Amino acid sequence: MTRADADSRIFFGYETAFRIVRCVHPSALLRAKAKACVLSDAAPSAKEVEAALGRLKAAYPDFGVEGPLHVLARRAPHHRASGACRRHACSARFPGGSFYQVEDGVFASAPALAFVLEASRSKSMVSLLELGYELCGTYQTKRTGSSSAYDVEPLASVRALVDYAKRNPSMSGARKVARLAPYLSEGSASARETKLALVLGLPHLYGGYGLGMPCMNYEVKANGAARAISGKRFFRADLCWPEKKLDVEYQSKECHEGELARMGDSRRTNALMSMGWTVVGVTNDELDSFAAMETIAQTITRHVGKRLQARVSDYHARKLRLRRQLGLPVGYE
């Protein structure tokens, strides 16, 4: 590859990469080898970026990435910054597989690299955790896709995110990702489930209720008695602490309205209780109420034999801060 060829390539990173990868069918994603993971010396011009987007739109009918577009280059950009295109200087050496080649001369950071890049500029651990849950979950918001959607394929696994960071410790943002590892979980089905998991699971130091991080949408196998009650061979627990036999269900209005849904919920709860499980439901309104979550957390800790006794200063203020960071109300309604 000549220097001219290398400098004509365009590398997308940060949140732009997530949105591009969402648009491309997994079978069409080709991981670039190490020799191809060398950034162009100079940042591309707005015209070059626009041309690359045109090729992507022609190749992928569902392509719908909006600006600002984040592009990577080895040297600081000479082009004037604009709202439509943001250029980032990056001197790191990238191992093979750090980028996908999505079109001739067009590359997008693999999710693990894009997550590290986002970590390098993120000032909020909570916001970064929410992003990690989304990447490893089955939903998307406009942070990682062109629109909000459910029942989508995860972009990454927790192991992939953490392993990449640990293999590249000198990369800006990598250590931050490694520190987040104990608090990441995969399989979340919605942004609200993620918020509930962080509120209940994070340590007191970060304003959570200290239950430990749950397994998201965990499969609980039914025994004979449970099958007789429910007719099910297994159950999906929204937020699950298997070692405590605790299932916390986020009861969104969409999934739990109507008589049939209520009957199904009742049979499911009775079946799990017959196997010694504790089942707690949290509604949308309860998650939005600080007072309700205080009561629910106390009930849960009592059921699992723990005491909700924080050993950090200003615990009340920390809980309120976490809720604000998650975009949850802090009132007592």
Q: What pTM was estimated for this model as a whole?
A: 0.92
pLDDT at 41 over 70: yes
d(CA 236, CA 111): 27
**Which pLDDT does position 214 carry in this prediction?**
97
Strands (E) located in the chain: 10-12, 30-31, 69-73, 85-89, 99-103, 106-109, 139-140, 149-150, 215-221, 234-241, 246-251, 278-283
pLDDT at 123 over 80: yes
pLDDT at 311 over 50: yes
**Which pLDDT does position 7 carry in this prediction?**
60
d(CA 283, CA 200): 14
pLDDT at 169 over 90: yes
Residue 214 CB partners (closer than 8 Å, separation 6+) = 185, 197, 200, 201, 239, 240, 241, 248
Percentage of the chain modeled with pLDDT above 90: 69
Interstrand relation of 234-241 and 246-251 (parallel, antiparallel or unpaired): antiparallel
For the segment 159-165, the average pLDDT, to the nearest whole number, is 98
Interstrand relation of 234-241 and 215-221 (parallel, antiparallel or unpaired): antiparallel
Q: How far is CA 187 from the centre of its chain?
A: 9
User: What is the token pair recorded at 218?
Assistant: 């965990």
**Which pLDDT does position 144 carry in this prediction?**
95
* Encoded amino acid at 72, one letter: L
Beta bridge partners of 12: 71, 108
**Which pLDDT does position 332 carry in this prediction?**
65
Angle at 257 (CA atoms; ends 254, 263), nearest 5 degrees: 130
Secondary structure of 62-90 in HEC code, one letter for each residue: CCCCCCCEEEEECCCCCCCCCCCEEEEEC
pLDDT at 86 over 60: yes
| Closest of 19, 40, 6 to residue 109, by C-alpha | 19
What mean pLDDT is reported for the chain?
A: 90
Task: Answer yes or no: are the C-beta atoms of 135 and 156 closer than 8 Å.
Answer: yes
d(CA 2, CA 183): 44
Task: Answer yes or no: are the C-beta atoms of 284 and 192 closer than 8 Å.
Answer: yes
For the segment 268-279, the average pLDDT, to the nearest whole number, is 95
Backbone angles phi, psi at 3, to 5 degrees: -60, -35
Percentage of the chain modeled with pLDDT above 70: 91
Place of tokens 């034999």: 305
**Which pLDDT does position 29 carry in this prediction?**
87
The single-letter DSSP state of residue 204 is G
pLDDT at 82 over 90: no
d(CA 154, CA 137): 5
**Which pLDDT does position 91 carry in this prediction?**
86
d(CA 311, CA 82): 47
Interstrand relation of 99-103 and 69-73 (parallel, antiparallel or unpaired): unpaired
For the segment 241-246, the average pLDDT, to the nearest whole number, is 95
- Which residue ranges make up each domain of the chain? 3-182, 188-325
pLDDT at 210 over 70: yes
